[in-house]
Amino acid sequence: ELFDWREDGVPLLNSVDESTVAPGLFLVGSLVRHERLVFCFIYKFRQRFGVVANEIGRRLGYDTAALQKYRFWGMYLDDLSCCGSECVC
């Protein structure tokens, strides 16, 4: 198994959408969950691409400053506190 699984049947991920079992294996797409937050539509889960790209780039020693422009465009969601029950993210 490349992922541990939560009780609700979805993969258990760390804060950067990485497997807790296989370091370096990231998940993007409609199965991404954080607590009770669901990123089930492309316009939601694409906001996490920058988070994954930043983490991979950082680990490889690259300057990831250029990814910050995605935050300005609303395409870099690392602050999940804005994603309450209204799902404004």
Structure tokens at 85: 């029950």
Amino acid at 62: Y
Residues 6 or more apart from 80 whose CB is under 8 A from it?
A: 34, 35, 37, 89
Over residues 46-57, the pLDDT tens digits come to 899 999 999 999
Structure tokens at 56: 């991979």
Cα separation, 71 vs 86, in Å, equals 20
pLDDT of residue 79: 85
**pLDDT band for position 13 (cuts 50, 70, 90):** very high
Q: Which residue has the higher pLDDT, 78 or 24?
A: 24
Domain ranges of the chain: 1-75
Cα separation, 87 vs 71, in Å, equals 17
Cα separation, 57 vs 48, in Å, equals 14
pLDDT of residue 85: 53
